[in-house]
Amino acid sequence: MPRPRAQSALRTPLNEMLGAEANVRLLRVLANAGTPLGAGELSHRAELGRTGVYPVLAALERVGIIEFVGAGPTRQVELRRGHPLATPIVDLFHAETKRIESLIIELRKTFAKVASSVTSAWLNDDPDRAPLGDPDMMTCFIVGEPRALPRVVDQVEDQLSGIEHAFQVHIELVPLSRSEMQSRVSIESLEDVVLLAGVPPMALHAQAADRATRNQITHGDHDRRARLLAEAIATKLRRDPSIVRRIKTNLVERMEKASEQERHEIKEWLRIVSTMSPAKLRRFLVDDSDRAVRLRQSLPALGLLTATERREILAGDRSTR
């Protein structure tokens, strides 16, 4: 095979910018952040080892798509918005996010038509569990009464071909009874799934139910744990004040499906995040006033914490008791 011919860095700069998965992960985080980030936070969000981040950042700085701000050990990194390819790259990652968000919306609409016959339905797009090694294959689990499941699957499948064609994905439907779920679905696989209909699958798993029974907690425990989660969110807010926009988006989305009581609390949170500065919001999140304690029970930004972060925070709380 002939040796590949070198290409001009001027004509094909994306070869260097998008040349490896680590490059893409870091550019995705910076494009979505909209604010400078330290190497530690950047590696955390990109789910990359911190030591491996530095040579990638050096390569991206060399082609001019990122820049460092500040000096010394506290200097941070941001996308260089003045680069002629910065806006197209940001648009590309926004389109990537919009694609999956739109796909989930369409799937939820489909399952809304069979909601009365579905106990729980969720999407698992874990690449380690992708059937047939297909990166565009997703697994959709459906739990319901055995007699109703064939009809539900038929109705959902009637809608899937259009969705699969529109989003260029393949979706495998896995119907399960409650008893089958216990034997075929591990509790670990339920920790970070996308709920499409019904109750969260974790609530159905016998192992989770047993664990909840063994670890019953008091109202005071709930308050303390909510405060620990709020402290973690406040820390993220200090690092990246722009996440206030993500909190607002989360609240608006929750409003669409909330109960009357939940709507009242969501409206109150919307007023708070719309009127408080990031610094004041951080203080409110961990405040001990009656209002803050009450509203912490419906934290608007839990999605900013990964499932692993939430488990570590709550596990640390249990270990100190």
| pLDDT for res 206 | 62
The backbone region for 95, taken as left when phi is positive above 0, alpha when psi lies in -120 to 50, beta otherwise, is alpha
Q: Which tens digits make up the pLDDT trace of 244-302?
A: 888 888 788 777 776 666 777 888 888 888 888 888 888 888 888 878 888 887 776 66
Q: Which residues contact 243 (CB under 8 A, 6 or more apart)?
A: 236, 237, 301, 304
| Per-chain mean pLDDT for the chain | 82
What confidence score (pLDDT) does residue 112 get? 92
Whole-angstrom Cα distance, residue 22 to residue 255? 36
CATH class held by domain 14-84: mainly alpha
Could you give the C-alpha distances from 54 to 50, 77, 80, 165, in angstroms and in order? 7, 11, 17, 40
pLDDT of amino acid 217: 47
**How many residues can be counted in the chain?**
321
Q: Which of 8, 30, 15 is nearest to 89 (CA)?
A: 30
Q: Parallel, antiparallel, or unpaired: how do β-strands 137-143 and 170-176 relate?
A: parallel
Segments in the chain forming alpha helices (H): 14-17, 21-33, 39-46, 50-62, 86-112, 149-167, 178-184, 206-214, 219-239, 243-257, 260-275, 278-285, 290-295, 307-319
Query: The tokens 């909840």 sit on which residue?
Result: 212
pLDDT of residue 106: 93
> For the ranges 20-24, 79-83, 182-186, 313-317, which has the lowest average pLDDT?
313-317
How far apart are the C-alpha atoms of 72 and 69, rounded to whole Å? 10
d(CA 209, CA 212): 5
Q: Which residue has the tokens 């579905």?
A: 118
Q: Which residue has the tokens 């799934």?
A: 193
Whether the per-residue pLDDT at 156 is higher than 60: the answer is yes
Give percent above pLDDT 90 in the chain.
27
pLDDT at position 91 is 93
Distance CA 18, CA 59 (A): 11
Among 73, 90, 85, which Cα is nearest to 29's?
90
Q: Taking the model in full, what pTM does it have?
A: 0.62
What pLDDT sits at residue 278? 87
Domain residue ranges of the chain, discontinuous segments joined by +:
14-84, 97-211, 217-319
Q: What is the mean pLDDT of residues 64-77?
A: 85
* CA–CA separation, 302 and 300 (whole Å): 6
Which of 25-34, 121-130, 170-179, 215-224 is least confident?
A: 215-224
Which of 1.10.287, 1.10.20, 3.30.70, 3.30.460 is the CATH number of 97-211? 3.30.460
193 alpha-carbon distance from chain centroid: 9
CA 237 to chain centre: 16
170-229 pLDDT tens trace: 888 999 998 888 888 888 888 778 899 998 888 887 655 554 444 444 556 677 888 888
